[in-house]
Chains A and B, each alone.
Chain A
Amino acid sequence: MKVAYWPGCVSRGFTPELHGSMARIAPLLDIELVEIDRGACCGAGVIAEHNQELADTLNARTFALAQQVDGAAMMMNICSTCQGAQTECQERLDASAEYRAHVNETLADEGLSYDKGLTNKNLLWLLVEEFGLDELRTRVQRPLTDLHVGPFYGCYIVRPIDRLGIDEELPRDTYLALVIEALGGTVIDYAGSHKCCGFPIITMNKEASLKQAGRHLGDALDARADCLVTPCPLCHLNLDLQQPLAERVVGRALNMPVLHLPQLVGLALGVPADQLGLQRHVVKPTSVIDWTTSVVAGVDETSTAR
């Protein structure tokens, strides 16, 4: 499947391992990535907070660029925050023809125009709804047997449910659990899976922000998770990069590895850990990977081959 690929800013900035691991697993899933490298930051809600029309126009420009990609089935992103912020803008653009025309007028000088009804899916949604869990199961080379994985969604991809199209038909707020299971892992049910990592207020109220991250990591630890997996690089910043500081705030050792979604998929598809950038994390994923023998969760390649 060919997609107009929107990596977002953070996957090319402070979590380069996310962008890299996506590129690494794409061919294994028959996904052809045509990167939208001309689009601007989605604004992460902050630009909309400053000026809604500005955020809508910047994202309409990105959508228009995505619609220009020849033969692309849809736009795909790898960031919960991009998914939420862009869907919010798209909701307004799609709701009113008059508003859309107004925004398109600003884009007209560059020969760009957004047509209503773009499909923009996070990798997580694409895996379940397009690629399919059965197909995913057949591609698994090294099942994540005995690996206990806690899902961490990120607010922007689970709320508000109306805007994101989450309902009984499309239970998108359960997809991470479905994917973990399809990859052969064990899903850990814990209190923080759908809560906020705290990242948006890290500069405004650092203690509350880190308390959120620390509490969810601690809850996952208490529920005996080996690691967390998240489709959101901003959550990853608070949960992984800031984990040493979160440990201080909540007063306990956490040492909880946090994987990006493509990394977890990649491990199960048989990609070596170092090609997925796992060595770059602040919290070493030793509980996920035994670095010396490349054993995933205590099940080495020979035993899975049997």
Chain B
Amino acid sequence: MSEFILRLRRYNPESGAPPYWEEHTVDLEPHRSVLEAILQARARFDGSIGIRCSCRAAICGSCGVRINGKPDLACHTHLDKAQRQARDGVIEVEPMGNMPIIKDLIVDMESVHWKKIQRVTPWLIAKQPAPEREYIVPKETMIDVTQSMACIQCGACVSDCLSMEVDPLFIGPAALAKAYRFVGDPRDDQHFERLQDLAEDPHGIYDCTHCFACIDACPKGVAPMSQIMRLRRLAGSDHGIEDANNGERHEEAFVSLVRQYGLLNEAELLPRSYGGDSPLAKFKPSAQKELVSSLPAIGKALLRRKVTPAAVLKPHKLARDDLRQIKRIYETVEGREQRFELNLYISGYDEELEGATASPADASVGGDAQTSAEHGQPGQTPGGSPTR
């Protein structure tokens, strides 16, 4: 047995009193979980400590909390590890973020997380007419959605979403990962409609700020941000959905400017993101409006010679030979019949293969479900244990 000190954040909104910290010393083996420590503190010292839990085996997703500032399942975090990561040797446990607190470590999942899940139509809208028996799909097309299916709805990613922190209306990482689970499912009949809905929502797929917080938060390796990027890829590149949020235009302008200059041309990227991928974009009303609203920043940048007119008119560019190489890479890769994507969650790493046992050849290239893993593409190697 070892002693561990817990510092719990206590709060009862109904009491009218502000939140406060409370410390308890518990006695447990170091490999025991933070959840067990909380439960011991509740049993021994204070029966009013609020914590939600059920399976205690990292599968029900009930005990999501912040431990030493980072979201995780309390039942999935060993005490010794938590203590090592504590700032002052005391294991700090708080409720998850971005959701209202019901009591102590219990947050209101209903008003935020579940509402957002419902927002993305989280069920299969099957193709009609229904087959007489079951729908038969190639096995590899379903492997692609297994990563998003690993979600246990614990809300850890919602807790730490940095976009949601400033925009509570953002659909968010958990719900968008769930959306990909159906957009990537070959049996679903509404791929386009789903994508258009998520792209046009001003708080939809283009509201993700690409901060990776949800990837680190997820205890199950779902990598919600990667699923959001796949939704964008499918919406923009495959379905040609031009959203009102400049998402598709920004991406297209970025990719095309790098092809043309080899480097990023910031002065062109901004107007083209609003006005479309053309040198004339800056004269379009949508881009003009944006340029005018940015005048305070642009004016100061010019005044301080941070940005010079010469840099705007004659942007940096690679040498001709290099541009020729870049162009050829674009032509080769974009000219492929099928876009190619390697998902390490599914394919695993070479190194792991050597030690892996009894791994069926179930790996494939991930991503574009209907096209993946057909004719001996690279990455189609037997999978090791998935990590990300």
B112 at the interface (CB under 8 A from A): no
Complex contacts, B325 vs chain A, CB 8 Å: 61, 110
Asked whether B262 lies within 8 Å of A41 as measured between CB atoms, the reply is yes
User: Which of A54, A198, A280 is the most central at the interface, judged by chain B CB atoms within 10 Å of its CB?
Assistant: A54
Chain B residue with the shortest CB-CB distance to A106: B332
B263 pairs with A9, CB closer than 8 A: yes
Name A's interface SS: helix
Query: Which residues of chain B are within 8 angstroms of A68 by Cβ–Cβ distance?
Result: none
B148 contacts the other chain (CB 8 A):
no
Given A155-B212, A161-B216, A201-B209, A54 contacting B263 (CB threshold 8 A): no
Contact with A along B294-320 (1 / 0, CB 8 A): 101100110011110001000110110
Would you give the shortest CB distance from A36 to chain B, in whole angstroms? Answer: 11
Q: A204 and B245: CB pair below 8 A?
A: yes
The residues of A that contact B233 with a CB separation of less than 8 Å are 49-51
Query: Contact at A54–B334, with CB atoms within 8 Å?
Result: yes
User: Using Cβ atoms and an 8 Å threshold, which residues of chain B touch A37?
Assistant: 318-319
Q: How many A-B residue pairs have CB under 8 A?
A: 227
With contacts A45-B210, A46-B255 taken as known, whether A204 is within 8 angstroms of B250 at the C-beta atoms is yes
The one of A46, A205, A211, A242 in contact with B297, judged by C-beta atoms closer than 8 angstroms, is A242
Q: With an 8 A cutoff between CB atoms, is B184 at the interface?
A: no
Q: Check: B344 CB closer than 8 A to any chain A CB.
A: yes
**Identity of the chain A residue whose Cβ is nearest the Cβ of B207 in the assembled complex:** A205
Interface size on B, residues (CB 8 A): 85
A47 and B266 in contact, given A96-B349, A212-B162 (Cβ under 8 angstroms):
no
* A53 / chain B contacts, CB cutoff of 8 Å: 333, 336, 339-341
A84 to B167, CA, bound (A): 25
The answer, yes or no, to whether A119 is at the interface (CB within 8 Å) is no
Interface residues in B315-345 (C-beta closer than 8 Å to A)? 315-316, 318-319, 322, 325-326, 328-330, 332-334, 336, 339-342, 344
Interface string of A139-162 (1 = CB under 8 A from B): 000000000000000011001111
Q: How far is the CA of A162 from the CA of B332 in the complex (A)?
A: 32
B306 touching A17, Cβ below 8 Å: yes
Q: Is the CB of A159 within 8 A of B212?
A: yes
A215 proximal to B (CB < 8 A): yes
Please report the C-alpha to C-alpha distance between residue A16 and residue B311 in the assembled complex, in whole angstroms: 10
Cβ of B182 < 8 Å from any Cβ of A?
no
CB-defined contacts of B207 to chain A, threshold 8 Å = 201, 204-205, 208
From residue A140, how far is it (CB to closest CB) to chain B in Å? Answer: 28
Q: Name the residue of chain A whose CB is nearest to the CB of B164.
A: A208
Task: Please give, as numbers and ranges, the residues of chain B lying within 8 Å of A160 by CB-CB distance.
Answer: 212, 215-216, 388
Interface contact A282-B297, CB-CB below 8 Å = yes
Chain A's interface size range is 35 or more
Q: Which of A14, A41, A95 contacts B258 (CB 8 A)?
A: A41
User: Does B246 lie at the interface of the complex (its beta carbon under 8 Å from any beta carbon of A)?
Assistant: yes
Q: Are A51 and B333 in contact (CB under 8 A)?
A: yes
CB distance from B48 to the nearest CB of A (A): 29
Q: Give Cα A41–Cα B350 distance, bound, in whole angstroms.
A: 28
For B166, B294, B297, B329, the residue with the greatest tally of chain A CB atoms inside 10 Å of its CB is: B166
Contact of A99 among B332, B378, B388 (CB under 8 A): B378
Q: How far is the CB of B328 from chain A (nearest CB, A)?
A: 7
Chain B 257-288 per-residue mask, 1 if CB under 8 angstroms from chain A, else 0? 01000111111001001100000000000000
Determine whether the beta carbon of B379 is less than 8 Å from that of A205: no
**List of B residues within 8 angstroms of A25 by Cβ:** none
B208 is an interface residue with CB less than 8 A from chain A: yes
Does B95 count as interface, using CB distance less than 8 angstroms?
Answer: no
Decide if B83 is an interface residue (CB 8 Å cutoff). no
Listed residue (A16, A43, A95, A98) with the most chain B CB atoms within 10 angstroms of its CB: A95
Contact of B340 among A38, A45, A52, A205 (CB under 8 A): A52
A12 to B308, CA, bound (A): 12
Q: Which of B213, B264, B300 contacts A41 (CB 8 A)?
A: B264
- Some 17 contacts from A to B, beta carbons below 8 A apart, are A17-B306, A40-B318, A45-B210, A46-B251, A49-B232, A50-B237, A50-B254, A51-B333, A51-B339, A57-B333, A95-B348, A106-B329, A195-B162, A204-B207, A207-B167, A212-B166, A282-B306
Q: Which 10 A-B pairs rank lowest in CB-CB distance, beginning with the nearest?
A: A159-B212, A9-B264, A196-B211, A102-B378, A203-B273, A98-B378, A208-B167, A155-B211, A211-B166, A204-B206
